[in-house]
Amino acid sequence: MLPWIVPLILLTPLVVFYRVWYILPRGYLPQPSSSRTKDVTNIKDKRSDKVVGVFLGSGGHTYEALKILDIMDAAKYAGRVYIYSAGDSMSLRKAMEFESSLASAEIPSHQLKKSNSLQAFLTIPLPRARQVGQSYVSSIFTTLHTIVHTLYHFTISTVIHSRRSSRKKPFADILILNGPGTATCLVLAVLTSRFLGLPSPRTIYIESFARTNSISLSGRILRPLVDRFLVQWPGALSPEKEGLPPGSKGECVGVVV
């Protein structure tokens, strides 16, 4: 065996472990807030050249996600990317209605010159990770199917576009998530891009309004993996209830939907 093989075998897992540790977001102390109109992205510009992506998880998740966009003043962003589960025609229709409301809204004349005629938007369907009532065993295969599609759309396509253009840019600058399970696949794609040194969006997970005293399963999985983890009720952030140490990542921003 060549003399450099053994050190290479020993160092490779250490390098991979360090890279994973390096790309994971760091925790920070909870910061309570009662402001309903707080911009969860912390972008203060009146008009932004950034693109915001949002996952529409169907039903109440879609309603809350679009309400969050409305409160964020989505029209100030250069574009919006709507990610939804394939076959979820309701979420797609609600996204189109939301875009129509933005297009029909009155834009002050002094802002019209600075805006992109009509802000661009994009819709991306993904296979659903798990159907309602689907067994956990069979959901393993559907989740893997979703992961493959997610990696293609948000990691592999980024590599392709980066080679075609000198300007490296992710599919969105900010990605808003509020569950359910497919959101986990999206965050996995984002972390994969970061691991490979590719441009990736900042991830913001906002727990559902219905979660007053605990966080969802998706929230528990994604809490250490997203850049910001937000809840709407202070009781949902209790570290003792979730078995987490004090100072774990999380912010209460008050009711936003």
Looking up residue 192, the CATH number of its domain turns out to be 3.40.50
With respect to residue 235, please indicate whether it lies within any of the assigned structural domains.
no
With respect to residue 91, please indicate whether it lies within any of the assigned structural domains.
yes
With respect to residue 106, please indicate whether it lies within any of the assigned structural domains.
yes
Predicted confidence at residue 189, as pLDDT, reads 94
Q: Is the dihedral of CA 81, 84, 86, 90 positive or negative?
A: negative
Q: CA 253 to CA 231: how far, in whole Å? A: 6
Q: What is the chain's pLDDT, residue by residue, as a tens digit (257 residues)?
A: 567 787 778 788 888 888 888 888 865 544 444 444 455 666 545 556 889 999 998 889 999 999 999 888 877 888 899 999 998 999 999 999 999 988 776 555 444 444 443 457 899 999 987 776 777 777 888 889 999 999 998 988 877 766 666 556 788 999 999 977 889 999 999 999 999 988 899 999 999 998 988 888 889 899 999 999 999 988 888 655 555 555 567 888 888 87
With respect to residue 113, please indicate whether it lies within any of the assigned structural domains.
yes
Kindly report the pTM of this predicted structure.
Answer: 0.81
With respect to residue 2, please indicate whether it lies within any of the assigned structural domains.
no
With respect to residue 236, please indicate whether it lies within any of the assigned structural domains.
no
Domain containing residue 86: 43-221
The answer to whether residues 99 and 209 touch, using CB atoms and an 8 Å cutoff, is no
